[in-house]
Copies of this chain bind each other. A is one copy, B any other.
Amino acid sequence: MSPLALGIDIGGTNTAFGLVDRKGKLHFSGNIRTRDFHTAEGLARQIYEEIIPKLSSPGELAGIGIGAPNGNFHQGTIEFAPNLQWKGVIPLGEIFQKVFGLPTKVTNDANAAAMGEMQFGVAQNMKDIVVVTLGTGVGSGFVCHGQVLYGHSGMAGELGHVIVEPNGRQCGCGRKGCLETYASVTGFKRTVALLQEQRSDLHAEPQTSLEEISAKTVSDEAQNGDALALKAFDFTAQYLARGMATAVAITSPEAIVLAGGLARTGALLTAPLNIHLNNELLVIHRGKVPVLLSGLLDQNAAILGAAALGWDH
């Protein structure tokens, strides 16, 4: 029995990967910039170069699991991911299978995070959860009755593309007002930029480049009581609460788990979030759906969850 699986978490900005054993222990991890690779083949070869020297024998690796934006579990593809430069339908599973010569499963990055939380994180022993990843985009993984929700297309669980403000902010998906445009790290920076520009319309395109804004700095300012920074968190929390209330009305989870970059701001986000959530939730759900912070923020839940797929043949 091969003791390790390779878990890969492809994000819009970074790709993290690691060798994981069956107990969820990470034996080696690496990190590369996704945008440095014009093709998925290039990314696969780079990971291969870094991983192979770490193995004591080729047989040590059982398989590969990948979490990626718009990952299709049924097809093993990435399909039209707005936050990646690889356009159209990419046969990601096939590509990695060729490069490594090992069985490869693909899922949505947030589904992988959900599997990680269920197996090793804060959602152990839960059967119905929603994991929301607040990164470059907003991803979500739904677990219902103990199973990851894939849907007919293999691409269920796109809470980031639920419209929370009709005719709101322009989204990369071509529509307007998606949760992602408000509650991702990018959306948060957009809010900060608009507040700094003293704009009355917080749904507009900011003039400031978002590169100039650091979520970490804004978070430090909010910690020190800065009014603008606190307002940015409150505004973000309001939309996140609206999207979550929709998720709860449809799937009724036991808890919601927050992961990804913005989740690291902790109570700065969850304090206003819980207040808004209480207004947005249906009466029957109020006070009954705790918002938990990922138990794997420093370990990358998505690597661990994706790795779990790597054994799943």
Minimum CB–CB distance for A310 against chain B, Å: 22
Q: Which residues of B contact A195 (CB under 8 A)?
A: none
Does A34 have its Cβ within 8 Å of any Cβ on chain B? no
Contact between A163 and B245, CB atoms less than 8 A apart: yes
Q: Is A276 part of the binding interface, using a Cβ–Cβ cutoff of 8 Å? A: no
Contact partner of A153 among B157, B173, B284, CB < 8 A? Answer: B284
Contacts of A128 in B (CB 8 A): 151-152
Q: Within the complex, which residue of B80, B140, B151, B246 is in contact with A253, where a contact is CB–CB below 8 Å?
A: B151
User: Which listed residue (B166, B173, B250, B280) contacts A242, Cβ 8 A?
Assistant: B166
| Cβ of A90 under 8 Å from chain B | no
A270-297 contacts to B, CB under 8 A, are 280, 282-285, 288
B-facing residues in A65-88 (Cβ within 8 Å): 70, 79-80
Contact B127 A251 (CB under 8 A): no
Interface size of A in residues (CB-CB distance below 8 Å): 46
Bound Cα distance A111, B269 (Å): 35
Q: A283–B153 contact, CB under 8 A? A: no
Contact A242 B144 (CB under 8 A): no
A79 to B288, CA, bound (A): 14
Q: Measured between alpha carbons, how far is A73 from B253 in the docked complex, in Å? A: 15
A174-187 Cβ-contact flags toward B at 8 Å (1 or 0) = 11000000000000
Q: Are B149 and A147 in contact (CB under 8 A)?
A: no
Which of B79, B147, B165, B288 is close to A284, meaning CB atoms less than 8 Å apart? B79
Give the chain B neighbours of A166 by CB distance below 8 A: 164-166, 242
Is A8 on the interface with B (CB-CB < 8 A)? no
Assess the B252–A155 pair: CB atoms within 8 A.
Answer: yes
Indicate if A306 sits at the interface (CB-CB under 8 A): no
In the complex, the chain B residue whose C-beta lies closest to that of A249 is: B158
B283 touches A173 (CB 8 A): yes
**Does residue A169 face the partner (Cβ distance < 8 Å to B)?**
no
A80 touches B283 (CB 8 A): yes
A134 on the interface (CB 8 Å rule)?
no
Cα of A254 to Cα of B150 in the assembled complex, Å? 12
**Across-interface contacts of A161 in B (CB, < 8 A):** 249, 282
A290 → chain B closest CB, angstroms = 11
Residues of B close to A263: CB separation below 8 A: none
Distance in angstroms between the alpha carbons of A142 and B153 in the assembled complex? 15
Tell me whether B251 and A151 are in contact (CB under 8 A): yes
Which residues 108-166 of A have a CB within 8 angstroms of B? 127-128, 140, 142, 144-145, 147, 149-159, 161-166
Nearest 5 pairs between A and B by C-beta?
A: A151-B252, A156-B252, A152-B254, A128-B152, A158-B249
